[in-house]
A = this chain, B = another copy of it.
Amino acid sequence: MNRQYEECIKICMEYLEACNTCFDSCLKEDDVKMMTKCIRYDRACADACMFAIQAMVSNSPFIDEICNLCADICERCAEECAKHNHEHCQQCARTCQKCADACRNMSA
């Protein structure tokens, strides 16, 4: 695994932690009904990130395309999360954007 993948995988893992914390925390919020889109995006974006990690760690012939898709999905998830003031949403949005940038660089 080259250095560049290693760094991107690390960022993806940090995002996954924040994303799944956000998923669980949203479910515990009083205004959970306001958070349903955020919950659905968290789940789908976590799946996309796991898929990108799998591609990088297995040296897939399609890393570029997969990281590009992951960047697209992360950007949309970051936008959604950023709308909510809960600290876990803001933290999720920040790491999600960082993950989008790292994946975009990987696919360039």
Residues 1-52 (chain A) with a chain B CB within 8 angstroms: 1, 9, 13, 16-17, 20-21, 23-24, 27-28, 32-33, 36, 39-41, 43-44, 46-48, 50-51
Cα distance, A27 to B9, chains bound together (Å): 25
Cα distance, A9 to B69, chains bound together (Å): 20
Q: List 5 A-B pairs, Cβ < 8 Å.
A: A1-B17, A13-B13, A20-B57, A23-B58, A47-B51
Instruction: Report the interface size class on chain A.
Output: 35 or more
**Which DSSP category, helix, strand, loop or mixed, fits chain A's interface?**
helix
Evaluate contact between B69 and A73: CB separation under 8 angstroms.
Answer: no
Q: Which residues of A contact B (CB under 8 A)?
A: 1, 9, 13, 16-17, 20-21, 23-24, 27-28, 32-33, 36, 39-41, 43-44, 46-48, 50-51, 53-55, 57-62, 65-66, 69, 72-73, 76
